[in-house]
Amino acid sequence: SQTIHQWPATLVQPVGSPLSLECTVEGTSNPNLYWYRQAAGRGLQLLFYSVGIGQISSEVPQNLSASRPQDRQFILSSKKLLLSDSGFYLCAWRWASGRDTQYFGPGTRLTVL
C-alpha cells in the first residue's frame, strides 16, 4: 500500500527566516507530486507540481520554491518567510498514469510571526 509522509507537523517561524518542508511517498514509483497551501478559511491553492525528478512546475509566482531531488521526495522551500506564508501546507501524490485521484499527506501547519 502507499503512504505519504510530511514533516514537520507544525512549525512556528519568524518573518524573514528560511523554510524547508519535506514530503515523501512510499509504495509507488514515479508519482506525480503536488504542493498545496490552504489559508485559514480558504480553499486549496496549488503551488507546485512535479511529474518527475528535477521537473517542477510553478502555479503561483511567490517567494516559495520546490525541488524534487529523488523520485519520491518533494521539498518546499523559502529563503525568507512572509506573514502571508502562514497556512496549512499539503503534499499530495497520484499515480503517474491512469486515474487522476490525488491522495493527501497529513499536512504541515505553518505560522509565521
Partner 1 sequence: QKEVEQNSGPLSVPEGAIASLNCTYSDRGSQSFFWYRQYSGKSPELIMFIYSNGDKEDGRFTAQLNKASQYVSLLIRDSQPSDSATYLCAVNNGITGGGNKLTFGTGTQLKVEL
What residue ranges bind partner 1 (CB under 8 A)? 32, 34, 42-44, 46, 49-51, 57, 59, 90, 94, 99-107, 109
Unique residue bearing C-alpha cell 519535506: 22
Question: Minimum CB separation from partner 1 for residue 80, in Å?
Answer: 27
CB nearer to partner 1: pick between 14 and 61: 61
For the chain, the maximum distance between any two Cα atoms, rounded to a whole number of angstroms, is 42
What residues contact residue 98 under an 8 Å CB cut-off, 6+ apart?
none
CB nearer to partner 1: pick between 85 and 107: 107
Question: Minimum CB separation from partner 1 for residue 39, in Å?
Answer: 11
Q: Which of 9, 2, 4 is nearest to 89 (CA)?
A: 9
CB nearer to partner 1: pick between 26 and 79: 26
Question: Minimum CB separation from partner 1 for residue 93, in Å?
Answer: 12
Question: Minimum CB separation from partner 1 for residue 42, in Å?
Answer: 7
CA angle 99, 8, 25 (to 5 degrees): 30
Unique residue bearing C-alpha cell 496549512: 88
